Amino acid sequence: MPDRYAVIGNPIAQSRSPVLHTAFARQFGHDLQYEKLLATHENFAETVRRFIAEGGKGMNVTAPFKLAALEFADTLSERARAARAINTLKFGPEGVHGDNTDGVGLVSDIRDRLGIALRDRRILVIGAGGAARGILQPLLETGPAHLLLVNRTERKAHELLEACGAAGVTAAGPLDAAADGAFDVVINATSASFDDGRLPLGRGTFAPGALAYDLVYGRGETAFLRDARRLGAARVSDGLGMLVGQAAESYRLWFGCWPDVEPVMALVR
């Protein structure tokens, strides 16, 4: 019998997780059955419990259930605790363990696939919502020289940094605080790209050789990436590599091995 895994969300038809994890399993010869589970807020816990009872070994969690999964898990990783959200569940004799692999996926994509060092660099993160919450701690663990978190509502940026226990190299401010920061890596963690919205970037935002990275993927070159290129970013990237990277980290948590993401990137691109 194959090991059973799933992704849970609402909506869920658009999820690429089955393609990703089936491709990973093929690399190692693992016998894996991966499915999509549609749930509601009312039956989320019941759906997960039923999947466990039927022999499920693990689950990816997507919107809108990352907070519900936090409450459902028996134990949490440090990065899940810092993010206050879960995107990966592992089921075992000790119960349900929750983790958040989003930030690891982002860091591995920037550092390993794109070949851009993050240590001693100046990093700008735009947005203080759930997407930013999942990536802050892993970014800070790379040892940047400075990390600035900006948000339309400045108070939320300060609250997020305080909640993460971030200090020292970090600062928070309003959106326009990044205009002249000369950042090496600029990450859009807002939802602006879903409707091609614009962000208040300036030529002084980007240092020579800077990378502009949009967490959104599958929408071509977004307004954020177009503006970044025009304003001096040397390289731009969407978030598809982060998607594959966070899935690869989930797979490592379940099976103890890290897949080769390059052929899977080509497959989903």
CATH number of domain containing 113: 3.40.50.720
Residues 79, 118: one domain?
no
Q: In this predicted structure, what is the pLDDT of residue 93?
A: 93
| Residues forming the active site | 66
**Rounded CA gap, 53 and 47, in Å?**
10
- 197: annotated binding-site residue? no
The predicted structure's pLDDT at residue 75: 97
> Beta strands of the chain (E only): which ranges?
3-9, 32-38, 56-61, 75-76, 88-92, 95-99, 122-126, 146-151, 170-174, 183-188, 206-214, 235-237
Is 62 marked within a binding site? yes
How many domains are there within the chain? 2
Q: Which domain does 113 fall in, by range? A: 103-238
Which pLDDT belongs to residue 82? 87
pLDDT reported for residue 165? 66
Give CA–CA dist 37/19, Å, rounded.
15
For residues 30 and 125, state if they share a domain: no
81 labelled ligand-binding: no
- The CATH number covering residue 14 comes to 3.40.50.10860
Are 108 and 233 members of one domain? yes
Q: What is the pLDDT of residue 167?
A: 60
Structure-token pair, residue 33: 């059955």
Both 139 and 248 in one domain: the answer is no
pLDDT at 166: 61
Amino acid at 99: D
- 213 annotated binding-site participant: no
Claim to verify: residue 88 and residue 150 sit in the same structural domain = no
Residues 140 and 219 in one domain: yes
User: For position 237, what pLDDT does the model report?
Assistant: 97
What's the average pLDDT block by block, 10 residues per block, for the chain (269 residues)? 95 94 97 97 97 97 92 95 92 96 96 95 93 91 94 92 75 87 95 81 94 91 94 96 96 96 90
CA–CA distance, 251 with 245 (Å, rounded to integer) = 10
Whole-structure pTM value: 0.90
